[in-house]
Amino acid sequence: MNLFKTHKQNLESIVTDLLNHLHVRVTNLTAENCVQEHPEYPSILSLSDCLDKWNVKNDAYKIDKTDYDRDDLLFPFTAHFPEQGGRFILVHGIEGEHVHYSDEYQKHALMNENIFLERWDGVALYAEKVGQSGEVGYLGQYIFSLLQKMLYPVTLILALSILGLTIISHSFSGGYLAVFLIKCIGCAISMLLLIQSVNPKNSLVQNLCSLGGKGGCDTILKSKHAQLSTWLSWSEIGLYYFMGSFLLLLIYPSSIGLLSWLNALALPYTIWSLSYQFLKKQWCILCSLIQIVLWAEFLMNVSFHSFGKTFDLALLYMLPISFLTPIVVWSLLKNSFKRAVQPFKQQLNKFKYNTSLFRQVLTSQPRYAVSDELFPILLGNPAASTVITMVSNPYCDPCAKAHTLIEDLLKTKKDILVKVLFSTPDRDDDFRTKAARHLSALTLSENKELAAQALAHWYTNKETYENWCVKYPIAKNDNYHNITKIQKEWCEMADITFTPTILINGYKLPSVYSPEDLRYLLN
């Protein structure tokens, strides 16, 4: 696996594959930037306009599938699937019963033709190269993109070279070198964790995190337990620990004894972190690597008897200098970044929170009815003109956060009704289904507020299901088994692919908005 390889999004992958197939000289960087900066991204229009910019002849069609004839098709063509909010594949040909295609995941994939016709909505774009096709100033852009690709490997080589020269020019013990190397690895992983929290789409971070399973890093690092406070994250504390101890070890090698005791004090955190990931059944590969590094450092300290090293008075000023340096530098950088983006953020918010534009974008989508037959949990004003539907999951940290935001919204907005549904596998052996069935069964109670109280308790107190269900018992009823089945079928019909998904009066909240934005938009 190439860790430095950029993972492309769907449309970016399609446009680069199409240009490569047509042998049109456009750099990948230019192609990706063009479609991403288009106001209608991601759409067939954004693809067509970019091809026009590079003088690539193209035409979009809407084919009636009742008149479908594969012999009428021209290859390759870009096909649009309405699923997952809209995505594309590049169809290279159809042979026998198989469609040959590529997308962001596979470059040489096969799909049964009947399945393709079920998924395809008939929208297609065909493009062909003409004499003047290509990017203006291609050579310069190619060199620039090549330099961008080399940035990470060159940085790594330079860092290792400086480290190697430092080691060669001094005489250090084996224990010191082992701990010093471990500190360097810890610094690198901590920086990657910080990058993940700032820019989750970074290609190097994405490739590393994918080793631990889909969404693991993002889920763990976005949970409330990843923050020690609103202004300090565990990622930052990790960076301060490794950078501070690295600097102290570099400028004052005799500090290895003190650093070994600091390392021992950090070990209980590793047990908490790994236990939390195990209970959540989500693994953050970078978080786990940090725990491994801490234990590796401890084993090195034990092996080389670092705990027996003596301390001296110089550490009284060396220690605060070394650990305050990364704290001050990162704080200054963070504040500079915030000030730099603030004017752009203010301008963006003027458009983002324009209620007229929001309503226009919202109502341009398909509308889904959320009837009482789905047995939703109801919160707020039953006679409200604004109905918010939250598709949730009992074991979902972002859902718990969204529920808190919805509760706060209900305190200030009186004309709102909230309906809560659950997206679960609907299997008897599934722990999410078990909790969702219990919550849904409470809607059948004569006490209509009981389900809302139980839901608030569930998300707020984070009790085990066994302890929670004792406080909110349910009567045995076959209907509650059917509720999760009905809700699952509705979620599949509405193409609910993640939780929480928010709908306003039956319209999905556009992806550019989050539940936090609702307080500015629902007037």
Tens digits of per-residue pLDDT, 382-430?
999 999 999 999 988 888 889 989 998 888 788 999 999 999 988 888 8
- The larger pLDDT score, comparing residue 314 to residue 210, is at 314
Q: Are residues 332 and 219 in the same domain?
A: yes
Is 60 exceeded by the pLDDT of residue 4?
A: no
Kindly state whether residue 352 falls inside one of the protein's structural domains. no
Q: Are residues 364 and 283 in the same domain?
A: no
Res. 308 pLDDT band, cuts 50 70 90: confident
Q: Are residues 378 and 303 in the same domain?
A: no
Q: What is the pLDDT of residues 250-267, one digit of tens each?
A: 888 888 888 999 999 999
Mean pLDDT of the chain: 85
The pair of three-digit structure tokens given for residue 178, joined into one six-digit string: 């082992």
CATH code of residue 16: 3.90.70.10
Q: Are residues 384 and 422 in the same domain?
A: yes
Kindly state whether residue 152 falls inside one of the protein's structural domains. no
The dihedral through the CA atoms of 309, 310, 316, 317 has a sign that is negative
Q: Are residues 189 and 124 in the same domain?
A: no
Q: DSSP labels for 86-146? A: -EEEEEEEEETTEEEEE-SS-SSEEEEHHHHHHH--SEEEEEE--TT-S-TTHHHHHHHHH
CB 432 within 8 A of CB 394: yes
Kindly state whether residue 185 falls inside one of the protein's structural domains. yes
Q: Are residues 180 and 327 in the same domain?
A: yes
Q: Rounded CA gap, 313 and 149, in Å?
A: 47
Q: Domain range spanning residue 325? A: 170-336
**Whole-number CA gyration radius for the chain:** 28
Kindly state whether residue 391 falls inside one of the protein's structural domains. yes
Kindly state whether residue 141 falls inside one of the protein's structural domains. no
Kindly state whether residue 31 falls inside one of the protein's structural domains. yes
Q: Are residues 322 and 206 in the same domain?
A: yes
Q: Are residues 105 and 23 in the same domain?
A: yes
CB 358 within 8 A of CB 501: no
Q: What is the pLDDT of residues 121-135, one digit of tens each?
A: 999 999 999 888 998
Res. 162 pLDDT band, cuts 50 70 90: low
Q: Are residues 311 and 392 in the same domain?
A: no
Kindly state whether residue 146 falls inside one of the protein's structural domains. no
Q: Rounded CA gap, 117 and 207, in Å?
A: 32
Q: Are residues 366 and 331 in the same domain?
A: no
Long-range contacts of 46-52 (CB under 8 A, 24+ apart): 46/11, 47/11, 47/14, 47/15, 47/78, 47/88, 47/125, 48/125, 50/15, 51/15, 51/127
Kindly state whether residue 432 falls inside one of the protein's structural domains. yes
CATH code of residue 415: 3.40.30.10
Residue type (1 letter), 484: T
Is 90 exceeded by the pLDDT of residue 77?
A: yes
- Domains of the chain: total: 3
pTM score of the predicted model: 0.59
Q: Are residues 375 and 293 in the same domain?
A: no
Of 336, 370, 399, the residue that ends a domain is 336
Q: Are residues 457 and 494 in the same domain?
A: yes
Nearest to 175 by CA among 300, 310, 307, 311: 300
CATH code of residue 212: 1.20.1440.130
